[in-house]
Amino acid sequence: MIDRYNREINYLRVSITDRCNLRCSYCMPKEGVSLIGHDDILRYEEILRIVRIAAGIGISKVRITGGEPLVRRGACDFIASLSSTEGLNDISLTTNGILLEPFAAKLFAAGVKRINISLDSLNAEKYAQITGGGDLNAVIAGIAEVHRIGFSPIKINIVAIKGFNEDEIMDFAELSLRKPYQVRFIELMDVGRPALDHSSRYLSNTIIRELIGSHYRLERANGIRTKMDGPAEMYRIAGGAGEIGFISPLSQQFCDSCNRLRLTANGHLRVCLLSDEDVDLREPLRNGCSDADLAELIKRAIAKKPIQHALACDEGHHIKKCMKDMSSIGG
């Protein structure tokens, strides 16, 4: 489906839970999140139905996210069922990696080949600090396991946070020298009511790229970005095994190539990550709507997609339009 700004919408991110086994301070409020009631979370059959209908109107890629998707019981079996949806040709997963090692083989068998792992520090103490007690070793073991099994690409996502991990930028960059991973720096977005103050912690990817470029020769890995590429600008350190990506929603907006919708765990279809505008699918679904009605609602969400997100580019002057916490949206 093409939206009113001529963008092809072919990608759906599906949050299967708002629960998480970590408490990242940039993602969740200090007092914790109020969780969605069990009955309000979409059942797997309901998600399968929505995806089947979305695939019928042009969605060909689905990413499973959360909260932490691997904490929802039956996640691997659900993904295996999703794999047989006609029209879908790509199923991927975003995880914090804590439970990845035990689930990796089952995920691969279920059809996930592409995986994103969030990892904001390579230092065990700092990792525990930012995640509210997470075990870095578990994540490292998960990454090693997906590498051993043959997932590709393996993307390591780092949210760049001033005063927290700016001293680890070169460590992350050098990880891409040694390993065939895509190491991607993501700019911190002012979303929700997190424990960490976003506005004073924003670190532009321009600075990160310059820092890495002052130590190594960076080559473009995917040429000039086209409308069909994801939001990351990809580079490679000359001779490196992997790549380095920059996802820069603030310093280098990529809304002109936005191809996505987001389904929240309680069945709302969000039209933009950074706006709370959405279309409720759960109520109509539970009130017995037809497949054609559901397709119309999905088209309505596509029609509502804004030309660009509402966060201003200048540091510290963000206009917040998204009050939902990132853990309830899925990133």
User: Taking CB under 6 A as the rule, does residue 118 contact ligand SF4?
Assistant: yes
Site for ligand SAM in 262-321 (CB under 6 A): none
Residues 7-46, mask of contacts with ligand SAM (x by CB under 6 A): -------------x-----xx-------------------
Q: Indicate which single residue of 47, 51, 188, 298 sits in contact with ligand SAM (rule: CB under 6 A).
A: 188
User: Taking CB under 6 A as the rule, does residue 192 contact ligand SF4?
Assistant: no
Backbone angles phi, psi at 139, to 5 degrees: -70, -45
- Residue 67 or 249 with smaller CB distance to ligand SF4: 67
Cβ-count burial 205-222 (b if 16+ within 10 Å, e if not):
beebbeebeeebebeebe
- Residue 228 or 323 with smaller CB distance to ligand SF4: 323
- Residue 17 or 285 with smaller CB distance to ligand SAM: 17
- CA 93 to chain CA centroid, Å, is 8
Residues 127-166, mask of contacts with ligand SF4 (x by CB under 6 A): ----------------------------------------
Of 16-24, 71-79, 242-250, 274-282, which part binds ligand SF4 (CB under 6 A)? 16-24
Edge-to-edge order in the sheet of strand 268-270 = 218-220, 233-237, 243-247, 182-187, 154-160, 114-118, 90-95, 61-65, 11-15, 260-263, 268-270, 278-280
Judged by beta carbon distances under 5 to 8 A according to partner kind, the member of ligand SF4, ligand SAM, none in contact with residue 191 is ligand SAM
Contacts of 138 (CB under 8 A, 6+ apart): 97, 98, 99, 100, 101
Contact 24, 72 (CB under 8 A): no
Contact 169, 208 (CB under 8 A): yes
- Residue 159 or 175 with smaller CB distance to ligand SF4: 159
User: Taking CB under 6 A as the rule, does residue 66 contact ligand SF4?
Assistant: yes
User: Taking CB under 6 A as the rule, does residue 218 contact ligand SAM?
Assistant: no
User: Taking CB under 6 A as the rule, does residue 165 contact ligand SAM?
Assistant: no
The CA distance from 248 to 252, in Å, is: 5
CB of 58 to ligand SAM, least distance (A): 24
Q: How many CA atoms lie within 13 A of 1 on its CB side?
A: 24
The CA distance from 281 to 263, in Å, is: 9
The CA distance from 306 to 250, in Å, is: 16
Contact 188, 198 (CB under 8 A): yes
Judged by beta carbon distances under 5 to 8 A according to partner kind, the member of ligand SF4, ligand SAM, none in contact with residue 23 is ligand SF4
What is residue 14's three-state secondary structure?
Answer: strand
Site for ligand SAM in 91-130 (CB under 6 A): 94-96, 118
Residue nearest to ligand SAM (CB): 331
The CA distance from 317 to 6, in Å, is: 29
Of 5-13, 21-29, 148-156, 218-226, which part binds ligand SF4 (CB under 6 A)? 21-29
Sites of contact with ligand SAM (CB under 6 A): 20, 26-27, 65-68, 94-96, 118, 157, 159, 186, 188-189, 191, 326-327, 330-331
